[in-house]
Structure 1
Amino acid sequence: MDSKILKNFLKTAQLGSLSAAAQEACVTVQALAAQLNKLEQQLGFRLFERTNKGVTLTDEGRDILPWITDVVKSSAELQHRAAHLRQRGAPALHIALNNTFPDAVNQALMAFLRARLSAWPLIFSTSESPENLAKLARDEADIGVIIGDRLPTGLYAVNLPGLNIEVVAASAGMPVNNDTVLIKPMPECAYSDCFERFVSRYKNGYGKLPVHYSGSEHISVAMIKSSNSIGIISRRVALMNNLTILPDFTDALSVALLMKTPLLSERDLAAFTPDPSLPLSA
């Protein structure tokens, strides 16, 4: 059976709409309907009940759903492994680590990646998420460690288990007055969504303050130290710089490996555990 058709079956089951699933799969509604009809003919029973309100799984469709899910997942992992094998003997891989993490976490990640990508020589660099994204776009990196949920399309993303960033609002300890400003991360920054959630929570307080913009956590820290301002940064960086953490606001961001070629799958990364003695969120 065609794995693309099975994947489109899952999209349709999840969305409950042929038109929505067709749009997400980048095919016409007619083409998707033909795929599902073909799948039903191969299986020998109907998968969906079709109405004017959308589609719902039949009893048989619900019964076979977990089996098709496993097949689609296994197919993706097979493609990852095949890509891995095709790259044997290829030039060095450039991996952009993220300097938001302590050195010990990046060292643990480097050791793990050396073991998983042993067929390649690896070249490591480290920078914040916006620069890592730029490196991927400029073909200066093959893999980037990216913080946050805003990931570009066209690349392969796999979450890193056990890693997350605790985010806080921090200041230099000055009282809030007419000179106080908020430091807003640019949209490409990992903390952009956290800033919006902070402002939404305190829209009648801090949300009324004037805004200055920052392109990176490093710049945000410099602005906090040099002016009466409030910025959104990681708890670890706030503590390292002896900044005052505002009470009643914390947030968290996930971490992903972003790849131009699917060299690693969820199964490959499942075994990664950073040093348990390290306070990753601090």
Structure 2
Amino acid sequence: MNLRQLESFLAIANLGNFAAAAERLCVTQSTISARIQELEQILGVELFDRSQRTARLTLKGRELRPYAEQVVELTSEIRRMVGAKAALAGVMRVGVAELVAISWLPDLVGAVRDEYPNIKLEFEVGLNPFLLDGIRSGSLDFAMIAGRIAEPGLTTFDLGCVPFSWMASPILVPGAQPFDLCELRKMPILYQGTNSFTNSMMDQLLGISSNRDRKGMTCNSLEAIYSLTRSGVGVGFLPVDRSAALLRDGVLKVLRTTPSEFEMPFSVAFASSSPALFNDIAQLCVRTSKFRSDALTAQL
């Protein structure tokens, strides 16, 4: 019995099939199958029920799982504490909120390369529902998300806050009139995706309790929302710092609301059962983040 066999066993158990496990471990599917066959021969039991479309653990497989997790975690801890960081190697799949991706993600890549030169990062950019599902299913190792969550089985660290404001093109809003809640709700609002944290925050600020009460349209790309806002299609809820040049050039304007800025928190999340290395990388995300470290303001 060896570590690669146990790592392959856990990858299949977490991802639900041999193909996904092979992709995660950067080996062929035949290699994964051979490792599991060898492990089953050593133990003298079947670990997976192969009669279904997904690879389900047998009773003996479920018994093995916690022991395999302990062995892999202990091995990871030995490498992390005793070995050189340069000796740590592997692929980490990282979920990324779009605002992180277009701001300080390159800084994070550089920081990881400096400390863990043999760790390869693979990124998936998306909204919270996709990113959190990825962590829960094991298809993502950790994710940098909008908002703060408290969920059993997940460990999170704050990445800071980003000021957002309601913005529009002078084409859509030519004057400088103030907007109260009722007036803003009547405007065509540009929502980011479906069931995203940003949408929840927008609904909370607008006093909207149901999707049916929304007026406007939905788009899952922040850059596309910028384009739609610049064109006068609707009102965008956009990051102030990222919009500085557009505001300075008069392409966009901040609507006169009270308050005029709203702090959106961001965090990094990963499964609490993850190897200790994940905690180290998450802390590196915290140190690299360019978002403000001040606490969420009382206005929310």
Instruction: Check the 8 A contact 2:148/2:158 in 1, yes or no.
Output: no
Deviation per CA, 1:4-43: give whole Å up to 9, x if none. Answer: xxxxxxxxxxxxxxxxxxxxxxxxxxxxxxxxxxxxxxxx
Q: Which residue of 1 aligns with 2:178?
A: none
User: Deviation of residue 150 (structure 1)?
Assistant: 4.8
Instruction: Check the 8 A contact 1:155/1:258 in 2, yes or no.
Output: yes
Instruction: Check the 8 A contact 1:99/1:128 in 2, yes or no.
Output: yes
The one-letter code of the counterpart of 1:164 is C
The one-letter code of the counterpart of 2:111 is F
Q: Which residue of 2 aligns with 1:123?
A: 121
The answer to whether 1:244 aligns with 2:253 is yes
User: Deviation of residue 146 (structure 1)?
Assistant: 0.9
In 1: Cα distance, 2:220 partner to 2:282 partner: 34
TM-score after normalising by structure 2: 0.48
Deviation per CA, 1:26-81: give whole Å up to 9, x if none. Answer: xxxxxxxxxxxxxxxxxxxxxxxxxxxxxxxxxxxxxxxxxxxxxxxxxxxxxxx9
Q: Which residue of 2 aligns with 1:222?
A: 227
Which of 176, 192, 195 is residue 188 of structure 1 equivalent to? 195
User: Deviation of residue 251 (structure 1)?
Assistant: 0.9
TM-score after normalising by structure 1: 0.51
Q: How does 1:73-222 map to 2 (within 5 A)?
A: 85=77, 91-101=90-100, 105-114=104-113, 118=116, 121-125=119-123, 127-130=125-128, 131-133=130-132, 135-136=134-135, 139-150=138-149, 154-160=153-159, 163-173=160-170, 174-175=172-173, 180-186=187-193, 188-200=195-207, 210-222=215-227
Q: How many residues align?
A: 187
Q: Which residue of 2 aligns with 1:62?
A: none
SS at match of 2:148: coil
Q: Which consecutive residues of structure 1, in runs of 5 or more, have no partner in the other structure?
A: 1-80, 277-282
Instruction: Check the 8 A contact 1:149/1:253 in 2, yes or no.
Output: no
Query: Residue 228 and residue 271 in structure 1: after superposition, are their counterparts in 2 closer, same or farther (change >3 A)?
Result: closer
In 2: Cα distance, 1:219 partner to 1:153 partner: 34
- Is the strand fraction higher in 1 or 2? 1
Query: Residue 133 and residue 156 in structure 1: after superposition, are their counterparts in 2 closer, same or farther (change >3 A)?
Result: same
Instruction: Check the 8 A contact 1:147/1:254 in 2, yes or no.
Output: yes
User: Deviation of residue 144 (structure 1)?
Assistant: 1.3
Query: Residue 99 and residue 215 in structure 1: after superposition, are their counterparts in 2 closer, same or farther (change >3 A)?
Result: closer
- The CA RMSD measured in Å over matched residues stands at 4.1
In 1: Cα distance, 2:290 partner to 2:93 partner: 24
The one-letter code of the counterpart of 1:222 is S
